[in-house]
Amino acid sequence: MKPSHALCMLALAALTACGGGDDDDGGPRLTDLAVTTSAHSGEQLEPAFDPSVRNYTLRVQSDIFGVLLQPVANGAAVQTSVTAATTAGAYSTTNANTDVAAPEAVPLAQTLGNTGYMVKLSQSYAAFDVEYVQTATVTVADPASGEAVNYTVRIVRDNDTAVRARFGAEKVFTGADGTAIKYHIYYPPNYAASSKTYPVVLAMHGVGQRAAGGQPADMVLKRTKQATIWAQDSEANPAKEAIVIAPQANTAWASSDPAGGLSADGQAAYELLQSVIATEKADASRIYLTGLSMGGNGALLMAESYPATFAAVFLHAAWAGQPNSATVTGADYDWAGIKQHLDGRIRIVAAEDDPDVRHPAYLNLVKQLTDHGIGFQNKLYPTGTFFSPTAHFVWIAGYADAAARDWVFSLKR
């Protein structure tokens, strides 16, 4: 062997013994890559982060619209940047798929005080019907040496098509006053042949899924998990089997927030619930009510109108009275009825920096319950917890909380 060749072989062996030259030569690299979603349910990179590993997968649930990446480089002068593979499509039904195949830089909006990069995931109508994938490239560059390396994170969002299909075709219910509302309903496995009765969950959506906003009824199931999460529990665990009703409001669930009154849509939703209780295999001692935003307000109004119906009420970004006006007291609500029938059976989830149902509205709701001696559970997420789309979407974490769902199902009349 020539001396020069032997020296080369020795150098290569030494380099191999050190783990290779690409990652240990002092060049730019990441020392950490944290990932967070609005579910706050412990999502992790696959495989676990290692500076020498360049490619990762992150699996997230179907209602995630943005992932926060927080890369840490191996030096103060080393720079990081993130580019997404596609421009995230808007929430649209008129354009079936608004995604376009064009890269974009994705810095996180600084208004929430976070650091890092928010990788946006599509909210377009068609994106909910597939296992949506967005690929983020994290570039780590050293301006002094001109060296740069890339890490990729392949973000895979769950496709809930199978569980949504279990809700069956869109149906129409007509209330006593002639108001017609669309709805979907889920029945647990082996329901037709079963001789037992089942809990019932009535899930009331927010303003974004109203028929008046141009949304088809299946967007109630697609964009949020307020209905499908209970069906997923039902499919996975016989102890959590339930009938789940997902109605769609034409315009609103409430007719008069300050005084506390259901609209025609809200009343029709309650009559739909009563129809299911009367005609299906329902356990009348385990009727559960949940809602988010406008639906949280509607659920509270339904609970005060018919408090003896429900075993538990699970509210997200809700209010009593008005969400953001000077008059938020809800003084005309029937708090006495709630006290009599729902004491200790209410759970409230809110975000301190919710831009739509602002903190005073949450404080007012808590005060009303406290002043009237009504026991409740509450979960207030501090400022900066949520970043996508806004802190108003606190229900993403609220419904992802398995312990909270278990608490709901533990209660009966």
Burial profile 368-378: b = 16 or more Cβ within 10 angstroms, e = fewer: bbeeeebebee
C-alpha triplet 303, 405, 356: angle, nearest 5°: 60
Q: Which CA distances in Å does 240 have to 25, 194, 236, 406?
A: 54, 15, 8, 9
**What three-state secondary structure class fits 106?**
coil
Taking each helix axis from N to C end, the angle separating 294-305 and 335-342, rounded to the nearest 10 degrees, works out to 80
DSSP code of 154? E
Q: Are strands 198-204 and 282-292 parallel, antiparallel or unpaired?
A: parallel
pLDDT score of 5: 45
Domain boundaries along the sequence of the chain:
25-157, 161-410
Mean pLDDT check: name the lowest of 29-43, 104-118, 211-225, 346-360: 104-118
**The pLDDT of residue 1 is above 70:** no
* d(C-alpha 272, C-alpha 120), whole Å: 37
Residues near 404 by Cβ (< 8 Å), separated by ≥ 6? 314, 347, 349, 377, 379, 398
| pTM of the complete model | 0.90
Per-residue pLDDT reduced to its tens digit, 322-378: 887 766 788 888 999 999 999 999 999 999 999 999 999 999 999 999 999 999 999
Structure tokens at 214: 């141009």
Q: With contact defined as beta carbons under 8 Å apart, do 137 and 38 qualify? A: no
Position 138: which residue type? V
pLDDT score of 79: 94
pLDDT score of 46: 98
Q: Which fold has domain 161-410?
A: Rossmann fold (3.40.50)
In CATH, what is the architecture of 25-157? Sandwich (2.60)
pLDDT score of 326: 67
**What three-state secondary structure class fits 344?**
coil
pLDDT band at 259 (very low <50, low <70, confident <90, very high): low
**Beta strand extents in 91-205 (DSSP E only):** 104-105, 117-120, 133-141, 148-157, 171-174, 180-186, 198-204
Residues near 68 by Cβ (< 8 Å), separated by ≥ 6? 34, 35, 36, 37, 108, 114, 116, 117, 118, 119, 387, 388
pLDDT score of 13: 40
CA 274 to chain centre: 28
**The pLDDT of residue 11 is above 90:** no
pLDDT score of 156: 98
pLDDT score of 331: 81
C-alpha triplet 266, 267, 273: angle, nearest 5°: 95
Residues near 16 by Cβ (< 8 Å), separated by ≥ 6? none
Of 82, 150, 159, 161, which is closest to residue 120 (Cα–Cα)?
82
**What three-state secondary structure class fits 193?**
coil
Position 119: which residue type? V
Burial profile 121-133: b = 16 or more Cβ within 10 angstroms, e = fewer: bbbbbbbbbeebe
Which class for 360: exposed (0-12), middle (13-18), buried (19 or more C-beta within 10 A)? middle
Higher-confidence residue of 236 and 23: namely 236
pLDDT score of 4: 44
* Average pLDDT rounded to a whole number, residues 380-409: 95
pLDDT score of 109: 67
Sign of CA dihedral 258, 264, 265, 268: positive
Give the chain's mean pLDDT: 90
Q: How many other C-beta atoms lie within 10 A of the C-beta of residue 277? A: 15
Per-residue pLDDT reduced to its tens digit, 212-235: 877 889 999 999 999 999 999 999
pLDDT band at 19 (very low <50, low <70, confident <90, very high): very low
**What three-state secondary structure class fits 173?**
strand
pLDDT score of 98: 75
Residue matched to tokens 């009938």:
243
* d(C-alpha 37, C-alpha 34), whole Å: 10
Higher-confidence residue of 169 and 323: namely 169
Helix segments in 237-349, DSSP class H: 264-279, 294-305, 335-342
pLDDT score of 36: 93
